[in-house]
């Protein structure tokens, strides 16, 4: 990258260029609030697009400023007026946009899907639509539908600027709206919350996603983006980031998801306080998700191999954890939590979050020795043994004699460990959302204090954008 930086700094810097970013020491990125783009997590900013942008800023050695907006209508003018250097917001590369803007290199593929509520007649084409189709009022959602009608033909859909795509998907799930359009990434996440969302048909062929640049952006910034995404590809970091946000949601089981959500409502209340009490430094919701995967929260569960209880402890593990009755719910949760924590401590310190959590989960299922065999095998076959996205590709090889005969601990059902981790990640995500909904409902029920002590605040009180440095929205860049 050094030759690129020296070359760019020697040139006359246009308004949007790599050299102007390096001279200012700041990369300004526009984005949209959303789970796949940018949002304020419990302790810091999160989101797939945010982490990509943070990585690019670190790659350039500059500070990142993110300006998130609530709508594309507010965001796009910031790029048009050169107030941000680029937009990272899940934007698809269409011919119409290519005429008006420049794009960085493509890094993901999506389809736009027509979404309906399961249990109703599935529409398999535009002609089958019988009801209200409402989309988010911006070009990202309008363009796919516009290609399906003649130039003079009136639109057969409604548009709203008051709701985002997640709200529209919730409305379809609640039978308050017949249809909407969603990209496949957002829909995959939403179906973990609303399992009755169905896919009617694909509105578009596969589209590529890339960062959006102003037409006046010079070649130096785009060249840096090409280098950066090339580095992400070859280092495996892009695959690891995709796995973090999307790797566990690509497969979807309607029956399993509905059953889990019913169990959260009816069974989890019996054990919620125990999970909270014994989680220690771990997220109690992760512990609960593990227990559901192990036993479906049945304290009397017994497997054909003899493991028992809510956390499905082996006799040896129960003895090590001083558990005298594996069918006792409190002892099982306490023992399982302490055993999981011990596995986490034994994962090499250089392995970063969340990979070390996924590997500890795999070790809980298949054993730490077999996990280490898979990590060594991953390295031997050219992968990164410290990235879960690489290790999970090689765990299933422990079932094949040509591989397991070369390992220390031999044969293992590594494919089951991979599925085990993926299921827990899905349960965990769904539980986090369900508990968040529960907390929000409880907050709404708190009586409002009247008088001088009462204060109120909502997003509408602020400008529609914000920098990552504070939780409160800031002024425009």
- Give the active site residues: 294
- SS3 readout for 338-360: HHHHHHHHHCCCCCCCCHHHHHH
Distance CA 190, CA 200 (A): 16
Size of the chain, expressed as the number of residues it contains: 477
- Where is 337: in which H helix or E strand? helix 329-346
8 Å CB contact between 345 and 363: no
Helices (H) then strands (E): counts for the chain: 20, 14
Distance CA 341, CA 336 (A): 9
DSSP helix/strand/coil, 95:
helix
Strands 26-32 and 86-87: parallel
DSSP helix/strand/coil, 54:
helix
Distance CA 310, CA 289 (A): 11
Closest listed residue to residue 264, CA positions, set 330, 197, 192: 192
Q: What Rg, from alpha-carbon coordinates, does the chain have?
A: 25
Residue with tokens 């952006």: 217
Angle at 412 between CA 306 and CA 326, to 5 degrees: 25
8 Å CB contact between 385 and 418: no
Distance CA 241, CA 468 (A): 20
């Amino acid at each position: 990258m050094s030759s690129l930086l020296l070359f760019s700094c020697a040139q006359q810097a246009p308004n949007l260029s790599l050299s102007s970013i390096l001279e200012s020491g700041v990369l300004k990125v526009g984005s949209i609030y959303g789970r796949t783009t940018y949002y304020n997590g419990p302790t810091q900013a999160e989101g797939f697009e945010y982490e990509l942008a943070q990585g690019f800023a670190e790659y350039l050695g500059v500070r990142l400023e993110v300006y998130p907006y609530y709508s594309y209508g507010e965001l796009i003018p910031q790029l048009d007026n050169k107030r941000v250097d680029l937009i990272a917001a899940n934007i698809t590369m269409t011919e119409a946009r290519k005429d008006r803007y420049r794009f960085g290199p493509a890094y993901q593929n999506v389809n736009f899907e027509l979404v309906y509520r399961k249990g109703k007649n599935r529409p398999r084409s535009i002609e089958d639509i019988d009801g209200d189709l409402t989309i988010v009022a911006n070009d990202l959602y309008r363009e796919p539908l516009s290609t399906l009608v003649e130039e003079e033909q009136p639109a057969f859909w409604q548009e709203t600027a008051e709701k985002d795509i997640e709200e529209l998907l919730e409305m379809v799930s609640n039978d308050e709206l017949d249809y909407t359009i969603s990209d496949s990434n957002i829909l995959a996440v939403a179906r973990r919350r609303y399992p009755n969302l169905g896919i009617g048909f694909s509105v578009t062929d596969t589209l590529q996603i890339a960062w959006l640049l102003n037409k006046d952006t010079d070649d130096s910034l785009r060249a840096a983006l090409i280098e950066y995404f090339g580095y992400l590809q070859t280092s495996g970091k892009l695959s690891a980031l995709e796995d973090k946000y999307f790797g566990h949601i690509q497969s979807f089981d309607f029956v399993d998801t509905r059953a889990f959500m019913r169990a959260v409502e009816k069974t989890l209340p019996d054990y919620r306080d125990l999970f909270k009490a014994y989680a220690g430094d771990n997220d109690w919701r992760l512990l609960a998700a593990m227990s559901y995967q192990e036993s479906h929260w049945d304290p009397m569960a017994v497997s054909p191999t003899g493991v028992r209880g809510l956390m499905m402890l082996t006799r040896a593990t129960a003895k090590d954890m001083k558990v005298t009755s594996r069918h006792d719910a409190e002892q099982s949760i306490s023992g399982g939590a302490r055993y999981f924590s011990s596995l986490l401590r034994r994962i090499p310190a250089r392995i970063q979050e969340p990979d070390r959590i996924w590997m500890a989960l795999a070790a809980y299922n298949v054993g730490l020795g077999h996990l280490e065999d898979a990590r060594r095998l991953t390295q031997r076959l050219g992968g990164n043994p410290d990235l879960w996205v690489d290790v999970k590709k090689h765990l299933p090889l422990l079932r094949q004699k040509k591989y397991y005969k070369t390992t220390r601990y031999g044969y293992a059902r590594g494919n089951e460990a991979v599925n085990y981790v993926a299921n827990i990640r899905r349960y965990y995500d769904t539980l986090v959302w369900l508990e968040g909904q529960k907390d929000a409902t409880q907050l709404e029920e708190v009586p409002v204090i009247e008088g001088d002590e009462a204060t109120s605040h909502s997003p509408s009180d602020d400008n529609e954008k914000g920098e990552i440095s504070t939780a409160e929205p800031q002024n425009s860049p």
